[in-house]
């Protein structure tokens, strides 16, 4: 006995087939679209090397050349890149710059100063302070200048030194003019260590290195001791 065309079971089966066919068509269309997109993507990747090759290569800027190192005291140099006579007169004053035979030593001090030497800066600063000091400050500045001198010129204690002797004479004259009775006593390597005149960090009997000079009172007694090394 055959089924009626209006049988519900047959209708459900036909509807299922129709939905399945529609889904198959959608899947086929999706894969077809995906294939087209994939082909385009592959084609774009293939074009990358050509695009890169066609781009101009940017020029590489040369490495910057380092500027020459400068000193904080470059402004003190003259047009010849030296601490010239004007700078000497400014720091040392007219009396210490009057002796032309000391030009070489004074110029060395100025060169060290404009190069940033701490020892030269300390010595020049102490001299300038002394030039403007009152009576009360002069004795202590005598000691400071002595220690600054030997920090800048440590080997000068071993013998005669024209600039040091000129400096000591000038300091003595300025003290006398100001009514300050203190005086300077030089120390030499080889001197016998005197605890009343010398100051050393370690015990010993003979001076080996000098780092200052003795400042005396008007009665010859010690005002400040000279810093020394001993053995």
- The structure's pTM equals 0.66
How many Å apart are CA 223 and CA 141, to the nearest integer? 12
Secondary structure class of 93 (helix, strand, coil): helix
Average pLDDT of the segment spanning 108-129: 95
How many Å apart are CA 163 and CA 185, to the nearest integer? 16
Q: CB burial class (10 A; 0-12, 13-18, 19+) of residue 152? A: buried
Average pLDDT of the segment spanning 25-29: 60
Of 136, 145, 224, the C-alpha closest to 178 is: 136
Residues 52-92 pLDDT 10s: 456 565 566 666 665 555 555 554 554 444 556 688 888 99
Of 180, 178, 162, 168, the C-alpha closest to 212 is: 168
Task: Mark 213-222 as b/e (b = at least 16 C-beta within 10 Å).
Answer: bbbbeeeeee
Of 219, 155, 217, 215, the C-alpha closest to 227 is: 215
């Amino acid at each position: 006995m055959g089924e009626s065309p209006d049988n519900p079971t047959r209708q459900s089966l036909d509807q299922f087939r129709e939905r399945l066919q529609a889904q198959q068509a959608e899947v086929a269309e999706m894969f077809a679209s995906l294939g087209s997109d994939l082909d385009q993507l592959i084609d774009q990747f293939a074009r990358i090397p050509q695009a890169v090759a066609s781009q101009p290569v940017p020029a590489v800027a040369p490495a910057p050349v380092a500027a020459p190192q400068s000193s904080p005291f470059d402004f003190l140099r003259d047009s010849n890149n030296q601490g010239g006579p004007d700078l000497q007169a400014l720091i040392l004053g007219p009396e210490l710059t009057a002796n032309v035979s000391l030009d070489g030593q004074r110029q060395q001090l100025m060169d060290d100063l404009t190069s940033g030497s701490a020892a030269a800066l300390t010595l020049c600063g102490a001299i300038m302070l002394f030039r403007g000091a009152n009576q009360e400050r002069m004795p202590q500045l005598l000691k400071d200048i002595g220690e600054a001198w030997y920090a800048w010129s440590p080997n000068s204690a071993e013998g005669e030194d024209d600039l040091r002797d000129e400096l000591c004479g000038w300091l003595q004259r300025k003290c006398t003019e100001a009514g300050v009775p203190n005086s300077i006593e030089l120390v030499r390597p080889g001197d016998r260590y005197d605890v009343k005149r010398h100051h050393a960090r370690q015990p010993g009997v003979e001076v080996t290195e000098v780092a200052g000079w003795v400042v005396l009172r008007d009665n010859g007694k010690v005002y400040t001791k000279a810093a020394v090394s001993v053995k």
